[in-house]
Amino acid sequence: MPWRAAPGSFSDPYHVWLSEIMLQQTVVATVRPYYAKFLAAYPAIANLAAASVEEVCGHWAGLGYYARARNLHKCARAVAILGDFPRDIAGLRELPGIGPYTANAIGAIAFGLPVLPVDGNIERVAARIFAITTPIPAGKPAIAAAAQAFMADKAAQAAPGDFAQALFDLGATICTPKSPNCLICPWNKHCLAFAQGIAASLPARTKKAERPHRIGTAYALMDADENILLIRRPPRGLLGGMLALPDTPPVAAKWQDAGSIEHVFTHFSLTLNVLVARHKTLPPGALSGPAATASLPSVMRKALDAARRALNHGS
């Protein structure tokens, strides 16, 4: 990983923090190009603090969970005021967007504090080693508590950051969610789930409630130069602070059907009907143009693509 330091050495706290925020609920392959883009745009956390929140959200577009981008910016400004990252868990926890996991990740990896950041990987390893069958999420606290026993290990104490990252790797490559490679696992002699032949079934999960379906409308108003009218959504809630197509008609116009797109969010799936219209000029102050459309959340990019297809066919 580009954000990792050589074994035995500490990583730059800025790099650890930036990568860990991006890695929340997001896989490494997705994060990689965003991490590179952010470091190019903001070589130091001071550059991030000096940027506008709109610009930061724009760079974040497509990565999802946009509260992370807003908190990233807030956190950068808080760190700018403090002068540097706090070097203790309690201090890190007070920063926006940093919860128990991320505080421990920064503490262990950047500062060598003897703490264990229990992510999904380490949770899975712990559930198996100790054969904890309580389903997640109810069983989460018990699994995290059991995982703390790992820190009794001398190697863990000596290099908490390397230890945590080694466990991440164990979970990602050997102790995988499905078909774990127990036969080559360095810990298989100590694994209760392996001994009982139940490793693949752990951690158990409570069946999720069915995802509701919603229907919405997006309005794409395009001028002669192919600019599309965009709005900025309110700073909280769904796609908070992000650019979007309006969900109510921005002007009186001859709206035409451009088909629909499907999108799945965490807590609902969405059919978005897209309507399009041509207009000579966009309202003054409209956000538009190629730079703006590059900064759209994925659902809005899908809608915009549908709108453009319809307009190009119709003309």
Count of residues that bind DNA according to CB under 7 A:
49
Q: Is 177 in the site for DNA (CB under 7 A)?
A: yes
Catalytic entry in 20, 55, 94, 123:
20
**Minimum distance between the CB of residue 105 and DNA, rounded to whole angstroms?**
8
CA-based nearest residue to 10, from 82, 101, 110:
110
Residues β-bridged to residue 220: 276
Angle between helices 13-23 and 28-41 (to 10 degrees): 140
**The only residue of 34, 66, 85, 111 in contact with DNA, by rule CB under 7 A:** 66
Q: Is 20 a catalytic residue?
A: yes
Please, which residue, 9 or 37, has the CB nearer to DNA?
A: 37
d(CA 307, CA 257): 9
Please, which residue, 35 or 66, has the CB nearer to DNA?
A: 66
Please, which residue, 67 or 131, has the CB nearer to DNA?
A: 67
Q: Is 64 in the site for DNA (CB under 7 A)?
A: yes
Q: Is 71 in the site for DNA (CB under 7 A)?
A: yes
Cβ–Cβ under 8 Å, residues 286 and 229: yes
Q: What angle do CA 277, 311, 253 make, to 5 degrees?
A: 10
Handedness of CA 33, 37, 39, 40 (dihedral sign): positive
Interface of this chain with DNA, residues 20 to 59, rule: CB under 7 A: 23-27, 29-30
Cβ–Cβ under 8 Å, residues 124 and 203: yes
Rg, Å, the chain Cα set: 23
Q: In what order do the strands lie in the sheet with 213-222?
A: 213-222, 269-278, 256-264
Q: Is 181 in the site for DNA (CB under 7 A)?
A: no
**The only residue of 109, 110, 136, 164 in contact with DNA, by rule CB under 7 A:** 136
Cβ–Cβ under 8 Å, residues 252 and 234: no
Q: Is 103 in the site for DNA (CB under 7 A)?
A: yes
**Minimum distance between the CB of residue 38 and DNA, rounded to whole angstroms?**
16
Cβ–Cβ under 8 Å, residues 34 and 63: yes
**The only residue of 15, 77, 124, 128 in contact with DNA, by rule CB under 7 A:** 124
* Binding positions for DNA, rule: CB under 7 A: 23-27, 29-30, 62-67, 71, 96-103, 118-121, 123-124, 136-137, 140-141, 177-178, 205, 207-208, 237-240, 263-267, 297-299
- Catalytic residues, by residue number, are 20
